[in-house]
Every structure is written in C-alpha cells, then in structure tokens.
Amino acid sequence: MTDYTDCKTQVTTSHWGAFEVDTQGDKIVATRHFAGDPSPTEIHKIIPAAVHHRARVARPSIRRAWLDNRDRSGRGDGDYVELPWDEALDIAAAEIDRIRKEHGNEAIYGGSYGWGSAGRFHHAQSQIHRFLNKIGGYVASFGSYSTGCAQAIMPHVLGIPFLKYTYDCQDSWATIGDNTETMVMFGGINPKNAQVSMGGITEHDTETWFDRFAAKGMYCLNVGPQRTDSVAGCDWLPVKPASDTALMLALAFVLEDEGLTDHAFIDQYTTGFDRFRPYLMGEIDGQPKNPDWAAELTGVATDQIRTLARRMARTRTLITVSWSLQRAEHGEQPYWMSAVLAAMLGQIGLPGGGVGYGYGAIGGIGKSMRPLGGMTLDQGENPVRQSIPVARVADMLLNPGQDYDFNGERGPYPDIRLVYWAGGNPFHHHQDLNRLHKAWQRPECVIVHEPWWTATAKRADIVFPATTPYEREDIGRSSMDDYLFNMPALVPPVDGARDDYAIFGGLADRLGAGADFTEGRGAEDWLRTLFTQYRDRAEKSGITVPDFDRLRQENWVRLPIRDDSYRPSQMALFRQDPLQNPLGTPSGNIEIFSSTIEEFGYADCAGHPTWLPPSEWLGAATPVAPLHLVSPQPGDKLHSQLEAALQDIDGARPETIVMHPTDAKDRGIESGQLVRVFNGRGACRARAKISMDILAGVVALPTGAWFGDAQGNIDPNGNPNVLTLDVGTSLLGQGSSAHTALVDVAAA
Ligand SMILES: Nc1nc2c(c(=O)[nH]1)N[C@H]1C(S)=C(S)[C@@H](COP(=O)(O)OP(=O)(O)OC[C@H]3O[C@@H](n4cnc5c(=O)[nH]c(N)nc54)[C@H](O)[C@@H]3O)O[C@H]1N2
Ligand SMILES: Nc1nc2c(c(=O)[nH]1)N[C@H]1C(S)=C(S)[C@@H](COP(=O)(O)OP(=O)(O)OC[C@H]3O[C@@H](n4cnc5c(=O)[nH]c(N)nc54)[C@H](O)[C@@H]3O)O[C@H]1N2
Ligand SMILES: [Mo]
C-alpha cells in the first residue's frame, strides 16, 4: 500500500504561470491548476514525468574525444565519460583559464541566450553573466530572438527603446476596452501565446478581455495567414506571410488618395512625410502603392483594402502588430510602416488609438500595474565591450574577424574559442540548425549546463547537470503580475544535479574569483538579501510585502498593485505638448523619414518604409519549394522545455504541421498522416493536420520539438529550424528571420 504520510501540496510558479504540486518523499507525483487562474494552461502536467526522466543529465559528463585529445570535430557523437564533480570542475576551470590566458576573455562567447526557468535568483542568464564578468568578461549578445529587429528599428522611428514603448507607452486592455472601436491585428493576438511571460503571469485574462470587447461591439480583425491567431469571433483577413508592408502601404495610399490622411497630425508631430509620399504615390518608381498593386502581393481584394482603410479613418482605431512580423527578413518594414500608417490616421496618443506592439505575444503586455522594481541579482560589469546581435551566432562562429554591419556600426566578429551556455537551447532556437551544427565544431571548447540531454547538451564537450526550479528554493516575481511567490524546493536535486549557482561558485573558486562571485553567501543568504532589498524598495513605494519567513509560510501573496485607471502614456504626453515632451528621435517627432537610417546607406533598409520582398515567400515560390513555412510558438508548451517526457506520449511526436486541404490534396496527404517537410537546408518529419483555418500555400509547424538528428538528415521530431533561413532581418536590425522559409511537404 502507498504510504501517503509524507505527501505534501505546495504552489510554485513558472513562465507559464502558477500551479499546485503534490510531492511524495523525493518525487513529484502530480500537478494541478492554480485556483486563482481563470484560464490556466496544461503545460505543468508533464512535469512529474519530465523531472524524473531518464533523459536527465545524471552526472558531470565530458565528451570522450575531447577529454582524450581535445578533439573538437565530433561534437554530437554522443560518447561521454562521467566524472566526479571535483574532477570535472577542475578540468573545466583549467580550460577556461587556458583560453582566457592564451586568447583573452574576448575569446569567450557567453551570450547564452534562452529562457531558462522562472525564479529571480536561480536565473541562469544572471548567473552565467555574473560569473563570466567576475572572471574577466565575455563577448555578450544584444537583443533577443523575440524582438531583436524591433529593438533596432523602433527607436529611430518613435525615439523610445522598443520594450519601454511596449510596456510603458501602450494602452492597457482596460483603456482599449473603453475607447477602441476598430482593432486591426497584424499577426493576430493569440491567447495561447499570452499564457507565457518572462517570470509568469498568474491570472491569464486575454480571452476575458476579448469577451468584453465583443460585448461592446468592437470590430477586431486578425490580419495574417492563420485564423487561429486570434480568438474565435474576430474577423479574419487572410494575407500572405511577409506581405503586410504592402497591405499597410495600400491602406496608406487609400488614406492619401481619398483625402483621409490627418495632415494636421502629420504636420505637427511627424518628420519626413514629404520624402515618403512620392514613394507611396508612385512618383519615384512609377508604381503607386495602390490597392491593385497590393492585391497581387497580399492576396487581399482591392475593395477590401479600400473598405478597411475607410473604416480605420472613421473610427477610433488601434493597429496592433505581433512580434512574429519582425522575426522575418525585412522585419523592420512592417514595424516602421505600421507607425507611419497610425500617424496618417492621426490617432497616436489618443486613448485606444495609434499603434501597439506585441499585445498577446507574451502575457503582461496590456496589463496595468503600479511600477514596482523587480528582484535581480547584480551581474557586475563586463570588462569586454564586444557583443553581437544575438541571432548572428552561427555567422560569428563561421567568420571570425570578418566585418559585419549592425544599426549603423561596422566591426569584426570576435574569434571565439570557448562557448559557454546555461539556460538556453540554441539547437532548438537558432535558424538553419544544420548550419549551426557546422559552425559549432569550430570553438576549442563548449561548456553547457542543462537538466536534460538536449541537442545542445549533446553537442557540448563538458556538460554539467543543472537542477530544475523544482529542486531549489527561489522567489517568483514578474513586474507585469500582481502575485509574489516563494518557490519551494519541492524535491531534492535529482541524481547528481547542482544549482547553476553552485556550479559557477565551484569554478569561480578555482579561477580565483570565488569570494567576488559568492560574496561569502550561500543560496539561501542570497535569497534573503535580495528579498530584503526588494522589500525595502517596495516599502518606499508604499507597498507592503511580507518578510521572507512569512512569505515562506504563506507560499504566495497578492500585491496591491493592479491599476486599471487611465494613465496618459508618453505618446499621450507628446501629443499634448510635443515641444515640452519631445520624442527621443533626432527631430523630436515621429520619423516617417529618418536621415540617420538613410545615411547608413543600407540597400535593405532605406530612409523610409519600403516594400522589400524577402528572398523566400509565396511571391518567390518555386516548384521545389512552393509552400511558405511559418513556425509559431507551440500552444501546449514553452519552447523546447520539458520535451523529454513529451516525446514519450503516444502520437505527440513528430510535431503537427497545419496545412490547407488544397495543398494536402495536391500531395495525396490525409489528416493525421506522417509527412516529410523539406527544402535545400534540411528535412524533418511531421504529422499533418488539415485545416481551413490556414491560407492555401502556407504551412505552420510550431517550434519546440527537440532537434533529433546529429547527421543533418531527417529530424524525426519535427523541429522547424532544420528548414528556416539563417540570415539577419537586414543590416540594420540583424534579427532572426525565423518566419522566412519556403518548403515542400510530401507523404512520408
Ligand atoms: N523557427 C523559429 N525559431 C524560433 C522562434 C520562432 O518563432 N520560430 N522563436 C524564437 C524565440 S522568440 C525564442 S525566445 C527562442 C526560445 O529558445 P530558448 O529560450 O533557447 O528555448 P527553451 O526551450 O526555453 O530553452 C531553455 C533551456 O534551458 C533549460 N533550463 C531550464 N531551466 C534551467 C536552469 O535553471 N538552468 C539551466 N542551466 N538550464 C535550464 C531547459 O531545459 C531548456 O533546454 O526560440 C527562437 N526560435
Ligand atoms: N504557449 C506558448 N506561448 C509563448 C511561447 C511559447 O513557447 N509557448 N513563447 C513566447 C515567446 S519567447 C515569444 S517571443 C512570443 C512570440 O510571439 P509572436 O511573435 O507574436 O508569435 P508567433 O507564435 O511566432 O507568431 C504568431 C503568428 O504570426 C503569424 N505570422 C507569421 N508570419 C507572419 C507574417 O508575415 N504576417 C502576418 N500577418 N502574420 C504572420 C503566424 O500565423 C503565427 O501563428 O510568444 C511567447 N508565448
Ligand atoms: Mo521569444
């Protein structure tokens, strides 16, 4: 009989929100929704199986060929030797020391992009960057896969750092609900994406807001290749992927053509319309960007474009743009053009009008909280000044010393000898994984911390087994949420795993930086210290937070910081008085034309928004690659996390690819059938789902399946990144172009 006397139930949180966990002894046995979440996900259900899975890295492991003779060519060969912690730490520390002495710290790449796990102290990115700073620095990465391109372009246009605009300058859901009459959503607003947020949102309420919008009679239009990118009840305007800029230009053309442009707004608040207008009207290239022109490119009928433009001019209109539009070649253009279109409508700075980015992309955008600083581990200063745009990692490894352009600057890629990764899975997230696999063979050493044997861990020379957040105590807190969690250590570390903090502490000791890294504190001392600092700051803002021991007892508390009252955003203040509250652009205005960008002289990003077709899209489809592949975020999980156990579920892998009945019929494919998705860069298996909710010619294969083949043949699990294109969005943004890919599909 099972002995339930040692059963416990506690709450913890994650990037996808809070959940209850039942433990028995040293095992997690079950999980359940957190009662306070009106719309929880099921992601947590896989945790008991994943945490105790055979794919956990059990002990420090060193690749045999590297251990024996420092052979770097065979990464991915799978032949590892397990070593005791002390020995493995000695070897890793000696190698780090050798590389920093022989080549300097600028030979260490520590960009280490990835989401890791929620929790403020055991935050893998903070830990690795603090450690690398304390031992002399590292080459860092700039931006993110999520919004790298937007972070480069939007400050030129709106004069505000992109994420600041998103979080501080856009209207809340409540303000939208009170004021907006028409919401035009490029790329949709998808509640399944809003389930996830850095640090977690506890009450998922995107659908609730849309219920309210519908009840009010707001017209919500999802513009994009998939009907499912918005809640049911929104209208759907199918457009070809990557053609949004053409559609926006045509909407702008109609405004100008029909005298609907708000010229008073343009004159007072913008710069450079006179440079843009001749392009729009076709006075430069002889091609007016009119609805007839756009109909061909976008697949949207001419009269639909005219009707939409008139409606947008007549009503309080909010244009929203999902992050996916800038995760594509020339992703700068729809972002810039959406701001220009909003400026022509003249509603920027009015409640519920203008343009907003990333609503629904992650939870929290649109939520309104009183500002309250977070709880963060100080990462220290990086003595190495060099950094690369994050998605250029394979280029960097392949082209040491070669110059590259980025946002007006030009300089050489560093010559990387050591790659150090903790809390990310580049062999899930990077584009063109077969190319990355080649690039990955170049450094002299690769060190990875991972709880599981991911494709990245399998390509490391030294793998340290890391604990999951269920095996260590932490604090859960996100600035977009009004809950505060003590995340208890639910079970002891599985197998031989150690916390990232303990691993870095062990290395720092050996490298003479132990005291500097730990400041003499153990993990619990750090939690108390950071929490006390956070609590003191909260008190100063008049917000009462329980002390650490009380929070431990209570497990979680709600903070009184939710605030749905209207607060004028920076754009509203700019509108009220543009001279007193100018934007941070060179002109102080919204830049429809940017001299700064024009002076960069880039062929792929001119001085005003321009229609630039990407190298791969339906307009460039070929007989061998006739379908546009979009690779959205997975609905049932977070990226590649917890995948080990998902792989065991019957029918869960390979991943599902959504395709239109016409495309399926042409290829003799039935729903549920196994297929092969392929192009010149690679191939993977997938399972077909046939649906009318996707535009014909487009297929959607979500990210998240583990890249399962080292040889670059056919990935059996269905990771779309064997197919995607690894080029920067442009010389300006150098973001990821994940949504730019043509493929074909065949019955397997
Ligand atoms: N084709 C295509 N590709 C994409 C995208 C796309 O839209 N299309 N989207 C991109 C975007 S926006 C993103 S953000 C990325 C996401 O890519 P990643 O953030 O790299 O994906 P994750 O699966 O979250 O990787 C986190 C890894 O950290 C490990 N981990 C978890 N907790 C800990 C810990 O405490 N310590 C350590 N050491 N490790 C831990 C997990 O097991 C996992 O392997 O993917 C990008 N890739
Ligand atoms: N459940 C879940 N939610 C997540 C994540 C997760 O892993 N799981 N990851 C989170 C992360 S890190 C991020 S960055 C965000 C990303 O959030 P987004 O970037 O907004 O989301 P995606 O899922 O990449 O894409 C959304 C939709 O854009 C559409 N799309 C693609 N290309 C185009 C185009 O050219 N034009 C138009 N109009 N539409 C296009 C596709 O149909 C796709 O379904 O999601 C977050 N939310
Ligand atoms: Mo992301």
Is residue 588 predicted with pLDDT exceeding 70? Answer: yes
pLDDT digits (tens, 9 = 90+) for 109-136: 999 999 999 999 999 999 999 999 999 9
pLDDT digits (tens, 9 = 90+) for 656-666: 999 999 999 99
For residue 238, whether the previous peptide bond is cis, meaning omega lies within 30 degrees of 0, is no
Nearest CA to ligand 2 atom 15: 361
CB atoms within 10 A of CB 729: 30
pLDDT digits (tens, 9 = 90+) for 143-169: 999 999 999 999 999 999 999 999 989
Calpha distance 433→723 (Å, rounded)? 8
Cross-strand pairs, 388: 141
Q: What is the pLDDT of residue 370?
A: 87
Is residue 709 predicted with pLDDT exceeding 80? Answer: no
Calpha distance 357→332 (Å, rounded)? 13
388 pLDDT tier (thresholds 50, 70, 90):
very high
Calpha distance 644→651 (Å, rounded)? 14
Of 33, 35, 34, 9, the closest CA to residue 23 belongs to 9
104 pLDDT tier (thresholds 50, 70, 90):
very high
Distance 635 CA to ligand 2 centre (A): 10
Is residue 398 predicted with pLDDT exceeding 90? Answer: yes
Calpha distance 183→176 (Å, rounded)? 9
**Cβ neighbourhood burial of 550 (10 Å; 0-12, 13-18, 19+):** exposed
Q: What is the pLDDT of residue 515?
A: 98
Nearest CA to ligand 1 atom 15: 429
Q: What is the pLDDT of residue 712?
A: 56
Read off φ and ψ for residue 182, nearest 5 degrees. Answer: -130, 130
Distance 155 CA to ligand 3 centre (A): 20
Q: What is the pLDDT of residue 335?
A: 98
Nearest CA to ligand 1 atom 23: 640
Calpha distance 264→216 (Å, rounded)? 30
Calpha distance 700→635 (Å, rounded)? 12
Is residue 520 predicted with pLDDT exceeding 60? Answer: yes
Calpha distance 84→465 (Å, rounded)? 12
Calpha distance 59→423 (Å, rounded)? 17
Q: What is the pLDDT of residue 711?
A: 57
CA of 177: how far to CAs of 86, 169, 172, in Å? Answer: 58, 16, 9
Give the sign of the dihedral formed by CA 226, CA 480, CA 526, CA 513: positive
Q: What is the pLDDT of residue 3?
A: 56
Which residue from 464, 640, 699 has its CB within 8 A of the most atoms of ligand 1, so it is best to mutate? 640
Which domains can be identified in the chain, with CATH numbers? 1-143+382-470+495-515 (3.40.50.740), 153-370+569-600 (3.40.228.10), 618-747 (2.40.40.20)
| Nearest atom, ligand 1, residue 721 CA | 1
The mean pLDDT of 390-418, rounded to a whole number, is: 98
pLDDT digits (tens, 9 = 90+) for 204-247: 999 999 999 999 999 999 999 999 999 999 999 999 999 999 99
The mean pLDDT of 692-702, rounded to a whole number, is: 98
Ligand nearest to the CA of residue 420, numbered in listed order: 1
CA dihedral 148, 150, 155, 157 (to 10 degrees): 150
Is residue 563 predicted with pLDDT exceeding 90? Answer: no
Q: Hey, is 105 helix, strand or coil?
A: helix
Calpha distance 451→527 (Å, rounded)? 22
Which residue from 196, 229, 639, 721 has its CB within 8 A of the most atoms of ligand 1, so it is best to mutate? 639
The mean pLDDT of 508-535, rounded to a whole number, is: 97
Distance 16 CA to ligand 3 centre (A): 13
Distance 324 CA to ligand 3 centre (A): 10
Report the amino acid identity of residue 70.
R
717 pLDDT tier (thresholds 50, 70, 90):
very high
Distance 427 CA to ligand 1 centre (A): 9
Of 569, 563, 586, the closest CA to residue 354 belongs to 569
Q: What is the pLDDT of residue 564?
A: 80
Cα distance from N-terminal residue to C-terminal residue, the chain: 47
Name the residue with tokens 């659908």.
Answer: 207
Active site (catalytic) residues: 113, 115
Is residue 2 predicted with pLDDT exceeding 80? Answer: no
The mean pLDDT of 36-57, rounded to a whole number, is: 96
Is residue 4 predicted with pLDDT exceeding 60? Answer: no
Cβ atoms of residues 297 and 246 within 8 Å: yes
The mean pLDDT of 567-595, rounded to a whole number, is: 96
Cross-strand pairs, 27: 24
Nearest CA to ligand 2 atom 1: 635
Pocket flag, ligand 1, residue 702 (CB < 6 Å)? no
- What percent of the chain lies above the pLDDT cut of 70? 99
Of 439, 387, 431, the closest CA to residue 409 belongs to 387
Distance 361 CA to ligand 3 centre (A): 9
pTM of the model: 0.97
Of 379, 327, 412, the closest CA to residue 106 belongs to 412
| Nearest atom, ligand 1, residue 117 CA | 32
The mean pLDDT of 78-85, rounded to a whole number, is: 97
Look up residue 60 and give its DSSP letter.
Answer: -
Pocket flag, ligand 1, residue 180 (CB < 6 Å)? no
pLDDT digits (tens, 9 = 90+) for 426-468: 999 999 999 999 999 999 999 999 999 999 999 999 999 999 9
Look up residue 454 and give its DSSP letter.
Answer: -
Is residue 179 predicted with pLDDT exceeding 80? Answer: yes
Calpha distance 561→558 (Å, rounded)? 9
- What percent of the chain lies above the pLDDT cut of 90? 95
∠ CA 499-392-622, nearest 5°, is: 125
CA of 717: how far to CAs of 444, 562, 610, 683, in Å? Answer: 29, 42, 38, 10
Pocket flag, ligand 2, residue 182 (CB < 6 Å)? no
Q: What is the pLDDT of residue 185?
A: 98
Mean model confidence pLDDT for the chain: 96
Of 200, 212, 211, the closest CA to residue 482 belongs to 200
Nearest CA to ligand 2 atom 17: 361
Pocket flag, ligand 1, residue 126 (CB < 6 Å)? no
Pocket flag, ligand 1, residue 726 (CB < 6 Å)? no
Pocket flag, ligand 1, residue 452 (CB < 6 Å)? yes
Is residue 1 predicted with pLDDT exceeding 70? Answer: no
